[in-house]
Amino acid sequence: MIEIENLSKDYGPRRAIDNLSFQINKGEVVGFLGPNGAGKSTTMNILACIMPPSSGTVRIGGHDVLEQSLEARKIIGYLPENPPLYPDMVVGEYLKFTALLRQVPRREVRASVEHVLEACSLKDVSGRIIGRLSKGYQQRVGLAQAMIHNPDILILDEPTVGLDPIQIIEIRKLIQTLAESHTIILSSHILPEITQICRRVIILNEGKIAAVDSLEGLTTTLRKGERLFLKVRNVEDDIVDQLQNIPGILSAQEEGPGEYRVDAELDANPQDALAELCLKRSWGIVELKRTALSLEDIFLKLTLEEKEPGE
């Protein structure tokens, strides 16, 4: 569905993205991650046919974004970080306007507007002025305009930025529903959001690809050891020191009252020794389990550790 080969973009002497290559298949939901300035928005703007690349090729549904830009745009819906809204327009009229801009046949405009009003839960505010809506509803209107022409691909750049927790949950549920019938590229700084919605992630760092894989694949690749979670009833001052004395344990850290994160060597299997120590010291095991790397762990390893290889 989306093919990128050797994509680069220069802003004068500065190279924003450098030689990116990846593919996104039909029906995939892919998270697009990276620190500020990594090149995420530049890449998404090129995918949305808003700006041209300096070099390389981008094909959207088989259409080259330089030579067949209009054909590519027809199958793309784009929600930038700041939604392209006209605050003085009424919601329903704005969506009708965007439908006509997107060349939806006139006989289908009304049905298209009704569909996105229903899908984005906007029916109750369809007659209200956009500028008087809450931030959450304005994000929904922005998402509705991206969907108005029923595109195959949705490109969503920080769709929950600036929203309160309840609004974030509402938009997240909406995106999860859209994921059932669309190919989605989702950029977000909220890593749990990516974890819940996306099957695969693309991580950029300093304009280059740091990783392209599923979360499980990245965990397997980056895991240099084994991480365990230990919770005990009876806390002593020297628990961390005692844990670190067990053979194969690399480090132990208190995460909360009676809760400890234990990192061990790969294949060390220290569970028996941990249980034996807890029994000997009468700590009382409440919970002992193996934990996977979080997306935050993966993100930090691929971005910060590459900058500081000596640490």
CA distances from 249 to 70, 242, 264, 305 (A): 58, 10, 4, 22
User: What is the predicted pLDDT for the residue at 194?
Assistant: 81
With contact defined as beta carbons under 8 Å apart, do 175 and 184 qualify? Answer: yes
pLDDT of residue 210: 85
What is the reported pLDDT for 251? 87
Domain locations along the chain: 2-218, 224-292
Tell me: domain 2-218, CATH 3.40.50.300, correct? yes
pLDDT at 310 (0 to 100) = 44
Amino acid 131: pLDDT = 95
The domain at 224-292 falls in which architecture? 2-Layer Sandwich (3.30)
pTM listed for this prediction: 0.73
Which pLDDT belongs to residue 223? 61
Q: How does pLDDT run across 170-200, given as a tens digit for each residue? A: 878 888 888 888 899 998 777 777 877 888 8
Nearest to 46 by CA among 140, 210, 181, 157: 157
Q: Name residues of the chain where pLDDT drops below 70.
A: 216, 219-225, 292-295, 299, 301-311
DSSP characters for the chain?
-EEEEEEEEEETTEEEEEEEEEEE-TT-EEEEE--TTSSHHHHHHHHTTSS--SEEEEEETTEETTTSHHHHHTTEEEE-SS----TTSBHHHHHHHHHHHTT--HHHHHHHHHHHHHHTT-GGGTTSBGGGS-HHHHHHHHHHHHHTT--SEEEEESTTTT--HHHHHHHHHHHHHHTTTSEEEEE-S-HHHHHHH-SEEEEEETTEEEEEEEHHHHHHHH--EEEEEEEESS--TTHHHHHHTSTTEEEEEEEETTEEEEEEETT---HHHHHHHHHHHT--EEEEEEEPPPHHHHHHHHHHHHH-TT-
